[in-house]
């Protein structure tokens, strides 16, 4: 096994080249960006001209199961990753790819530099109980937070997300961007972990991707909420809903109506809050609406995973 560090700040490849029994070369490549902005989604892939299994990418402390599909050099695995504006500092972060081929486990690792992006501050006025909740609500808030964390750990292998997503509303006009540093009634709170889209009460909300509903409920802060798992750690969520039309365990198709928007929870008025969660990281959901995995991968660097 040979490790080589490239000067260009990034790639650290563990690799091996191997000659298969029938004397044809099996080769594999990984693709990931050298640097990216905090809060923004990026694409990764593993591809090979030969069969492989159990592809996993580990990023920001989470191991994400990928699917193996036809495409790329023969077989390909796609992933969407990102970093949460609330808990990510600028710097270098390791990424690890693993898969099994010809009975052997292969690993390729690299580094992605995450750059600060300035997200502006936003002042909001909400009911005081939504900034400092009354004591009697603390237990409820804690329980909801546990259920949400558990849902966000959902990891399924089959890829049910396809890009670009179905926009959740027919008309996408943002009233509050992702990443805004929020100041509620003068009290600074963590950055906005989704995008707020203008929506009158009762507007139909559509699933951005096919998937399975993993959590619904009327939560203290988020109000009416729906969380959908679409595989490989890709989860979408809607908050402040007035009506929920699906339940936990339901399979939904891309574009299916799952709820009606509203003004429940911590809000200043009716709107739809849309979150995109990738491997547990809340990222800006909006740029993905107008791009595809293929276009996103073009912004990455492909490196060969060699075997000896
Ligand atoms: Zn919001």
pLDDT attached to residue 25: 79
Q: Which residues surround ligand 1, an ion (CB under 5 A)?
A: 196, 273
Confidence of residue 267 (pLDDT cuts 50, 70, 90): confident
Residues of the chain with CATH 2.60.40.10: 2-117+293-305
Name, in order, each residue with C-beta under 8 angstroms of 222's C-beta and a sequence gap of 6 or more: 239, 240, 265, 266, 273
CA of 138 to the centre of ligand 1 (A): 21
- Spatial contact of 9 and 285, defined as CB atoms under 8 Å apart: no
pLDDT attached to residue 130: 76
- Spatial contact of 73 and 50, defined as CB atoms under 8 Å apart: no
Token pair 């399975």 is found at 212
CA of 74 to the centre of ligand 1 (A): 41
pTM for this model (two decimals): 0.89
- pLDDT tens digits for 207-245? 999 999 999 999 999 999 999 999 999 999 999 999 999
pLDDT attached to residue 127: 78
Q: Which CATH number is correct for 121-287, 1.10.260.40, 2.70.70.10, 3.40.50.1580, 3.40.50.720? A: 2.70.70.10
- pLDDT tens digits for 9-53? 333 333 333 434 444 678 999 999 999 999 999 999 999 999 999
pLDDT attached to residue 24: 60
CA of 300 to the centre of ligand 1 (A): 30
CA of 68 to the centre of ligand 1 (A): 34
- pLDDT tens digits for 135-179? 999 999 999 999 999 999 999 999 999 999 999 999 999 999 999
Cα separation of the two ends of the chain = 7
- pLDDT tens digits for 101-113? 999 999 999 999 9
Neighbours of 1 (CB within 10 A): 8
Q: What is the CATH number of domain 2-117+293-305?
A: 2.60.40.10
CA of 195 to the centre of ligand 1 (A): 6
Tokens in use for 264?
A: 């429940």
Residues of the chain with CATH 2.70.70.10: 121-287
Report cis status (omega within 30 of 0) of the bond before 143.
no
Name, in order, each residue with C-beta under 8 angstroms of 140's C-beta and a sequence gap of 6 or more: 220
Per-residue pLDDT at 83 exceeds 70: yes
Query: Maximum Cα–Cα distance for the chain, whole Å?
Result: 71
């Amino acid at each position: 096994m040979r490790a080589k560090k490239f000067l260009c700040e990034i790639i650290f490849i563990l690799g091996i080249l191997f000659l298969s029994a029938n004397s044809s070369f099996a080769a594999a490549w990984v693709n990931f960006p050298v640097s990216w902005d905090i809060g923004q989604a990026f694409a990764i892939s593993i591809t090979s001209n030969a069969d492989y299994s159990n592809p996993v990418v580990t990023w920001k402390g989470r191991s994400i199961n990928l699917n193996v599909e036809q495409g790329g050099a023969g077989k390909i695995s796609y992933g969407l990753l990102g970093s949460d504006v609330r808990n990510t500092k600028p710097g270098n972060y390791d990424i690890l790819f693993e898969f099994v081929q010809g009975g052997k486990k292969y690993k390729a690792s690299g580094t992605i530099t995450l750059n600060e992006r300035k997200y502006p501050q936003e002042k909001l006025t909400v009911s005081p109980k939504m900034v400092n909740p009354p004591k009697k609500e603390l237990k409820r808030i804690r329980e909801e937070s546990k259920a949400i964390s558990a849902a966000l750990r959902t990891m399924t292998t089959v890829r049910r997300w396809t890009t670009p997503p179905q926009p959740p509303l027919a008309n996408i006009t943002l009233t509050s961007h992702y990443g805004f540093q929020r100041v509620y009634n003068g009290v600074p709170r963590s950055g906005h972990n989704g995008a707020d889209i203008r929506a009158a009460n009762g507007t139909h909300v559509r699933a951005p991707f096919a998937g399975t509903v993993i959590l619904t409920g009327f939560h203290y802060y988020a109000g009416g909420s729906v969380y959908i798992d679409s595989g490989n750690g890709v989860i979408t969520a809607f908050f402040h809903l007035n009506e929920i039309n699906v339940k936990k365990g339901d399979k939904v198709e891309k574009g299916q109506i799952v709820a009606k928007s509203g003004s429940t929870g911590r809000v200043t008025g009716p709107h739809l809050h849309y979150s995109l969660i990738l491997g547990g990281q809340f990222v800006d959901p909006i740029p993905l609406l107008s791009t595809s995995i293929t276009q996103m991968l073009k912004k990455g660097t492909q490196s060969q995973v060699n075997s000896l």
